[in-house]
Amino acid sequence: MKKIFTACLGTETNTFAAIPTGHQLFEETCLYRKASYGKNVPMFGAPLAVWRGRAEAKGWEVVESLCAFAQPAGKTVKKVYEAFRDEILTDLKAALPVDGVLLSMHGAMVAEGYDDCESDLVAHVRKIVGPDVPVGAELDLHCNIGESLLRDATALVLFKEYPHVDVPERADDLFTVIEGAIEGRTKPVMAAFDCRMIGVFHTTREPMRGFVDKLQAMEGKDGVLSLSIGHGFPWADVKEMGTRLIAITDNDKAKAEKLARELGMEFFAMREQTQPPYVTLDAAMARVSSHNLPKPMVLADVSDNAGGGAASDSTFILKELLDRKVKDAALAMIWDPGAVKLAFEVGEGAELDIRLGGKLGPQSGQPVDARARVLKVAKDVTIEFGGERKSVGSIGDAAAFEIEGVTVIVNSRRTQCLSRDCFTKLGVDPSAKKVVVVKSMQHFHAAYAPIASEVVYVAAPGALVPDWSLLPYKKADKAQWPFVAQPHTA
């Protein structure tokens, strides 16, 4: 009987963010051992559940170790990363011998003293299991992939969709690749091409939609086992920062390298067309003023996305809505545990003077001082995200405030607006509003595009401002587009 070892460890690190990533943030987000998450599988734990199901269906033994993931923030505390890594390695040693290792990681985790945590973890795993045991990893497509990770891993399979509604499906893909290697039916070989660019690439729009579909159609044919696009994570100041095209073939290194380069250059050629149509805050407000369609205008506050390490307490858009006296608007979510506590204190229907948001520094703007009415409060609010096999997350205790015609959802556990649950579980129907503001970069799209007259991506100030020229890079390679117009010929 075959035996596989599985574990999850990750976070997406914004090295420019002020919030440190420590043990408490992992506890609040996702920290389980030996499948103790039960039926409410967290997003990055979903691969573990898929791998367990696939393996047990074959009669294989599964040893599941740590499942630890933190809401994106700044660098992970060194001792926290090392403790989690060493726990996984200890469990792996105890499980030996194993026939394969499957890891759910992010691909952009940075800790104090470790600019590439994924490479570090996989290097240690490889030392333990030796050169012949297949080691596979599923990564978020917002990954910065280092050379040592490509060397030590047998196969890397990345999410294909942004928003990430395909986590279980990609876990299936990785299992299939590693399964073939374990059973000796295939010999995965991997190559990666550095596309020499940075950007944000929504798979909900062309030409990215067609490109992703093309890659998916090529898989499973002519010896192509897997194709992945590493979008990169530009808010990480590390040497590895950038986009990659990864090709995995069946024992044909030359073909993998050729495919990675050809598809990588095709991806590079789309660089300008793929960038989101960001608008300034003033331009967005001008569009709000003229909006008179029956469906709401959805404004994405991309710069204050908790999913990219921002505080999610900025007030720039809220202040504009109030100053311009926009009525029938709703915003989710401002992270302000103190305001939530006060809402519970006074109760539903009560009014109070409140200072909201703007607490984490200049990137958060100034607090909003206002008279607010408490519409609803709720304890331990959970939200769903994903496709048919949804994952479940928590926004903590939450409250809905009404301030001069604007409904504001405030939560105690920093999280981006992943689904309409952020509103509906607080008694608010976003589809009935004139304007809906979501603090998210793209994960909101699957839930909100169907109810929107239009989606507007707003480049307001914040920790994730989508202007790379404003980021003080010291380690990242700037010999990439858009800093260099033609980096492949420079």
- Predicted confidence (pLDDT) per residue in 286-305, tens digit: 999 999 899 999 999 999 99
- Predicted confidence (pLDDT) per residue in 120-149, tens digit: 999 999 999 999 999 999 999 999 999 999
- For 41-134, strand residue ranges (E) read 61-69, 100-104
Same domain, 303 and 182: no
- Predicted confidence (pLDDT) per residue in 101-122, tens digit: 999 999 999 999 999 999 999 9
- Predicted confidence (pLDDT) per residue in 18-47, tens digit: 889 999 999 999 999 999 988 878 888 899
Same domain, 248 and 341: no
How confident is the model at residue 490, as a pLDDT? 65
How confident is the model at residue 44, as a pLDDT? 81
Domain-located, residue 472: no
Domain-located, residue 455: yes
Same domain, 236 and 360: no
Which of 301, 376, 374, 363 lies closest to 333, judged by CA? 301
Q: d(Cα 240, Cα 154) in Å, to the nearest integer?
A: 19
Domain-located, residue 72: yes
Domain-located, residue 486: no
- Predicted confidence (pLDDT) per residue in 417-429, tens digit: 999 999 999 999 9
pLDDT confidence of 63, banded at 50, 70, 90?
A: very high
Structure tokens at 47: 């691969």
How confident is the model at residue 268, as a pLDDT? 98
- Predicted confidence (pLDDT) per residue in 330-375, tens digit: 999 999 999 999 999 999 999 999 999 999 888 899 999 999 999 9
Total domains, the chain: 2
- pTM for the full model? 0.91
pLDDT confidence of 390, banded at 50, 70, 90?
A: confident
Q: What does R_g of the chain's alpha carbons equal in angstroms? A: 22
Same domain, 265 and 282: no
pLDDT confidence of 392, banded at 50, 70, 90?
A: confident
pLDDT confidence of 387, banded at 50, 70, 90?
A: low
Amino acid at 349: G
How confident is the model at residue 393, as a pLDDT? 84
- Predicted confidence (pLDDT) per residue in 148-160, tens digit: 999 999 999 999 9
- Predicted confidence (pLDDT) per residue in 238-251, tens digit: 999 999 999 999 99
**At residue 178, does pLDDT exceed 90?**
yes
Is the CB of residue 376 less than 8 Å from the CB of residue 425? no
Same domain, 15 and 112: yes
Domain-located, residue 172: yes
Percent of the chain scoring above 90 in pLDDT = 90
**At residue 400, does pLDDT exceed 90?**
yes
Domain-located, residue 483: no
How confident is the model at residue 43, as a pLDDT? 80
Same domain, 450 and 348: yes
Which of 274, 300, 333 is the C-terminal boundary of a domain? 274
**At residue 204, does pLDDT exceed 80?**
yes
Same domain, 249 and 283: no
Same domain, 174 and 296: no
- Mean pLDDT estimate for the chain: 95
Mean pLDDT of 192-219: 97
Domain CATH number, residue 113:
3.40.50.2300
Domain-located, residue 95: yes
Same domain, 270 and 145: yes
Structure tokens at 8: 């999850």
Give the distance from CA 84 to its chain's centroid: 20
Which of 217, 251, 274 is the C-terminal boundary of a domain? 274
Same domain, 253 and 294: no
Mean pLDDT of 166-175: 96
Q: What backbone torsions phi and psi does residue 325 show, to the nearest 5 degrees?
A: 55, 40
Which of 254, 274, 294 is the C-terminal boundary of a domain? 274
How confident is the model at residue 470, as a pLDDT? 86
How confident is the model at residue 73, as a pLDDT? 94
Q: d(Cα 234, Cα 467) in Å, to the nearest integer?
A: 10
How confident is the model at residue 388, as a pLDDT? 63
- For 133-254, strand residue ranges (E) read 135-139, 155-158, 188-194, 224-230, 244-250
Domain-located, residue 257: yes
**At residue 50, does pLDDT exceed 90?**
yes
- Please give the residue range of the domain that contains residue 163: 3-274
Same domain, 270 and 324: no
Same domain, 72 and 212: yes
How confident is the model at residue 391, as a pLDDT? 73
Mean pLDDT of 468-473: 90
